[in-house]
Structure 1
Amino acid sequence: MENYIDLAEKVIQRLLYAGNDPETNDHFSMEKWEWPQGVALYSLYLYYKKTGKTKYLDFIIDWFERKIKEGLPEKNVNTVAPLLALIHLYEIKPDQRYLDICKKWAEWIVSEMPRTDEWGLQHITSDLVNDGQIWADTLFMTVLFLAKTGAVTGNRDYIEQSIYQFLLHIRYLSDPVTGLWYHGWTFGERHNYGKIFWARGNCWYTIGTVEFLDIIDSGEANREYLLQVLKNQITTLCKLQDKSGLWHTVLNDEASYVETSASAGFAYGIMKAARRGYIDKKYKEYAEKAVKGILSKIDRDGTVHGVSHGTPLGSTVEHYRNIQCVPTAYGQGLTFLMLVEYALGSGG
């Protein structure tokens, strides 16, 4: 599997040094504090934990030191995302500044973050208020951080809040017939917009659940419920996998393009769930087929192609079909995670 590790490092290094490229878009750069960078930082942290390669730990530390010095951004769902790496970093490098930042932001989430009816975390972003809306994305971008901060600090309220958000999002976003996830729900008009099964929105639950169960003890009943939802989703995903090994950006729409970041997220989540014993190991063959398919999307310099740009909530299939594909930090990060899990996953 050594060649897969070499490829994984090429993929992530293409991102880490992308900031020097004048053609870089803001989603394919590590110079911003936003959710694409948060996904990439967390993938780097997990790789460091598996390999002990200190240059990646040093990158994470240097990144946070620069950003803390520059000043942190306004708080919203997506700007929380980099803090998932920071609260994990605190366990390795117990700098009180890191903990203070994480506690301040966690307290903002539970006490001040805009809420929907039924106390859902409103998917407020740097660009959109999204009044009364919950999105699948929030589970990875915000809730994992809240759970981890609760685990690190012993704050049970943070842990219970994170469990509640998973359960609430399942209630309104998981389709009981297919097991797939809708992108969002509005409490204002009480509907799922076009009831679109958007691939990357689905992958945030696939990844989010296996990471969430690593972070906290959710209790036996909650754990079994989360896993049953995951199994239902994965069962249908495997039926919808394209012959290329990837999944379409609208999962049940073969006219929509196959999308790399979601496919990498599914492959990672399925492989890790199988390794943890959450699902039958027979599902690994679908993940491995995805890995092989995604290899064709990686350039010689490590750039990952076929990644849909940041995607607002839409009401039509055409909305998702028309999202442009560009290289992004999250595309690099999710592909990196997938390759590392494929190569090293059996190691723990």
Structure 2
Amino acid sequence: MTALLIRSLLFSLVLLNAASLACAQPATPKRWKQAAIGVTRAGTEIPVWLNSGAGNPKSQRNRMVVIGGHDGSTASTNFVQQLVERANTSKPNPNNGTAFIPKVFPDGLSTDLALTAGKGYPPGKGFYDDAAQPEPRYLWRWVGMYGATLVVDVRAGKTPGYWASEHADADQLAKLLAATPFTNKIEAPPADDFVRQLAEKGVEDVGRVPTLLLHVSSPVAAPEVEAIAKLLASFTPSKSPAWDEIIWRERRTPEQIAASLATVYGHDLKQVAYIPALAVIGRQRIAVELNDQKEQESLKQLLAPFLEGEKSPVPKSGSEHAGHLLFAELAKRSEGKDRERWIELCRAAADQIFDKDGKPLKLMPSHNEMSDAVFMATPILCATGKLTGEQKYFDAAVGHFRSMKKLCVREDGIYRHSPLDEAAWGRGNGFPALGLAWALSEFPEDHPAHGELKKEFQNHIAALLKHQDSFGCWHQVIDKPGSYREFSSTCMIGWALKRGIDRGWLDKGTHQPALDQAWLAAKHRIGPKGKVVDICTGTGKMRSLRDYYDRPAIWGVDARGGAMALMFSTEMMDGTK
């Protein structure tokens, strides 16, 4: 009895030790990690699985997207999920940049909508505020910007089969699918089907992508999954105009991008507000960089009415306060009476922070309690202080910033847009990043508050880096990955990173990778003829997270997006030679 008890105890100890060792073993790392391409009306993120190279199209010639659930079927979703599991346990392939979107409609589809799922492309409007189905909008633009070499759309069918678009390399597909359950060719889908529109017309100005439509069994059959897993591992992609376009954009220099943008933006100054003013600043920087005398003469004529006194704008809004940064930049390049005139115009904005007795107000008028005001007021105050040598402007800038911090900085270091809601709007964080970096550029190091402002800038950047996505972007709502990748905030934060690294406020080793990825993302989203991708329209104080999700995203020529693109590209010129 005693011997039996001892053996039993020893056996239990062995099992316990084995279990402990098993628990101590690190889990096999997953090479594909979950992110999001969008968000449903219910607030559910639309999942996507990406590998580590997703943000660098140039490094991955096999850059495919596999989509499930487009038809609302459980079978297609399960099929793609099984492909994800296989990808995570297969031998690593550095050229394989396949992204998996298992469930386009994570909240499900009603019966009537399921009948039309996959059709009605391209979406004509509603990016990304469509009241019924934002999911197709998110999918359409996300796939377009991925730079895919092949898109595979998996749907449930009566029998397994496939349809391939014209440029999907039908011969190679036929060979790879021979002796598999997918030997049957199915009829071409309707002209407005996702796979037809993507292959025949493409997304906006990015270009066409070869497509493959698969019909799979319900329930999922293992041989079918095995066949497609092998296809994804061995398929050599054919020509993809979308991939070619993305790579062409990536290869451009900052000077080339800025020069192209300057043909579209920076030619209008009817209102001295921040959007046209920043565009003019960017246009002037590239004209000087390239020693373009014709451009410089054109700019001289544009600015002459302000220099000669025909126009003496007095700001009536925060946007116009920031617009006067143009005059500060011009003052730096000028001498004598010209310099005095530009400084006079700077004072017209900066002096509004003082009351009738010359005492600084806690906040610049027109702040509207929005985080935008960190940029709208702080830099022009600091720039005017540097130009005049008067400390009162620096002191007022510090007071203004401290008041804005109390209103808008959250405990996690990110800015809420306003006290109306906790949502961390993308551009509502781009403004403080850009604003503090610009202000520090003008701020004297021997001022008692210099260290404070620098630390606030560093803290904000550190908080923002946690939310930069795999592609280098920041999103419409900074800490909500399902919100769309927002272009202007990415440019503004990228500009701040570049300035911070160059001036020594940010450690290069820590921050250069984030800057490199942000610049790559911006290059991908700056197209020909001044077109830019997914800029949030003008936005005031919103009352809910949903309000920020629903702010329209512009793809095309956009003054705000173009100005920020010019600022970022001209900032990136420094140190590129």
TM over 0.5: yes
- Candidates 99, 105, 125, aligned match of 2:349: 105
Aligned to 2:384: 149
Deviations 1:64-118 (A, max 9, x none): 3246635636522211222111122123234243333333333233237xx99x7
Report how far residue 46 of structure 1 moved: 4.9
User: What TM-score do the two structures reach when normalised by structure 2?
Assistant: 0.50
User: Matched residues in 2 for 1:254 and 1:37: separation?
Assistant: 30
Q: Say whether residues 1:61 and 2:300 are aligned partners.
A: yes
Q: Is the 8 A contact 2:535 2:561 kept in 1?
A: yes
User: Matched residues in 2 for 1:59 and 1:144: separation?
Assistant: 27
Report how far residue 297 of structure 1 moved: 1.5
Read off the aligned partner of 1:42 and give its amino acid letter.
I
Deviations 1:254-309 (A, max 9, x none): 22111001001111111221122111212111121121122222222232221111
List runs of 5+ in structure 2 lacking aligned partners: 1-250
Aligned to 1:38: 277
Report how far residue 241 of structure 1 moved: 1.3
Aligned to 1:166: 401
Report how far residue 2 of structure 1 moved: 6.9
Read off the aligned partner of 2:560 and give its amino acid letter.
Y
Structure 1 residues 346, 4: CA separation in 2 closer, same or farther (over 3 Å shift)?
A: closer
DSSP 3-state at the match of 1:158: helix
User: Matched residues in 2 for 1:340 and 1:101: separation?
Assistant: 24
DSSP 3-state at the match of 2:511: helix
Q: Is the 8 A contact 1:2 1:343 kept in 2?
A: no
- Candidates 549, 554, 559, aligned match of 1:321: 549
- Candidates 444, 461, 464, aligned match of 1:237: 464
Read off the aligned partner of 1:151 and give its amino acid letter.
K
Could you tell me the percent identity over the aligned residues? 19
Q: Select between 258-267 and 33-42 the one with higher mean Cα deviation.
A: 33-42
Q: Is the 8 A contact 1:14 1:303 kept in 2?
A: no
Q: Is the 8 A contact 2:315 2:349 kept in 1?
A: no
Read off the aligned partner of 1:79 and give its amino acid letter.
E
Read off the aligned partner of 2:363 and give its amino acid letter.
G
1:176-187 correspondence runs (5 A)? 177-184=411-418
User: Matched residues in 2 for 1:229 and 1:299: separation?
Assistant: 34
Aligned to 1:83: 324
Read off the aligned partner of 1:101 and give its amino acid letter.
L
Q: Select between 249-258 and 76-85 the one with higher mean Cα deviation.
A: 76-85
Deviations 1:97-153 (A, max 9, x none): 3333333333233237xx99x7222436xxxxxxxx422212222321122112212
- Candidates 116, 120, 145, aligned match of 2:363: 120
User: Matched residues in 1 for 2:349 and 2:519: separation?
Assistant: 36
Q: Say whether residues 1:4 and 2:263 are aligned partners.
A: no
User: Matched residues in 1 for 2:445 and 2:381: separation?
Assistant: 13
User: Matched residues in 1 for 2:473 and 2:286: separation?
Assistant: 23
Q: Is the 8 A contact 2:353 2:363 kept in 1?
A: no
Q: Is the 8 A contact 2:272 2:324 kept in 1?
A: no
User: Matched residues in 2 for 1:248 and 1:199: separation?
Assistant: 6
Report how far residue 229 of structure 1 moved: 1.9
More helix by share: 1
Q: Is the 8 A contact 1:39 1:329 kept in 2?
A: no
Higher relative contact order (CA 8 A, sep 6+): 1
1:11-22 correspondence runs (5 A)? 11-16=261-266
Q: Is the 8 A contact 1:163 1:218 kept in 2?
A: no
DSSP 3-state at the match of 1:307: strand
Structure 1 residues 285, 211: CA separation in 2 closer, same or farther (over 3 Å shift)?
A: same
Q: Select between 253-262 and 101-110 the one with higher mean Cα deviation.
A: 101-110
Structure 1 residues 251, 111: CA separation in 2 closer, same or farther (over 3 Å shift)?
A: same
Q: Select between 311-320 and 31-40 the one with higher mean Cα deviation.
A: 31-40
Report how far residue 41 of structure 1 moved: 2.8
Structure 1 residues 49, 235: CA separation in 2 closer, same or farther (over 3 Å shift)?
A: farther
Structure 1 residues 259, 137: CA separation in 2 closer, same or farther (over 3 Å shift)?
A: same
1:161-310 correspondence runs (5 A)? 161-175=396-410, 177-184=411-418, 192-217=419-444, 219=446, 221-281=448-508, 282-310=510-538
Report how far residue 55 of structure 1 moved: 5.0
DSSP 3-state at the match of 2:548: helix
Aligned residues: 317
User: Matched residues in 1 for 2:413 and 2:525: separation?
Assistant: 28
Q: Is the 8 A contact 2:363 2:403 kept in 1?
A: yes
Structure 1 residues 144, 274: CA separation in 2 closer, same or farther (over 3 Å shift)?
A: same
Read off the aligned partner of 2:457 and give its amino acid letter.
L
Report how far residue 312 of structure 1 moved: 0.4
Q: Is the 8 A contact 1:15 1:329 kept in 2?
A: yes
Report how far residue 52 of structure 1 moved: 5.7
Read off the aligned partner of 1:173 and give its amino acid letter.
C
Read off the aligned partner of 1:11 and give its amino acid letter.
L
Report how far residue 203 of structure 1 moved: 1.3
Q: Say whether residues 1:72 and 2:72 are aligned partners.
A: no
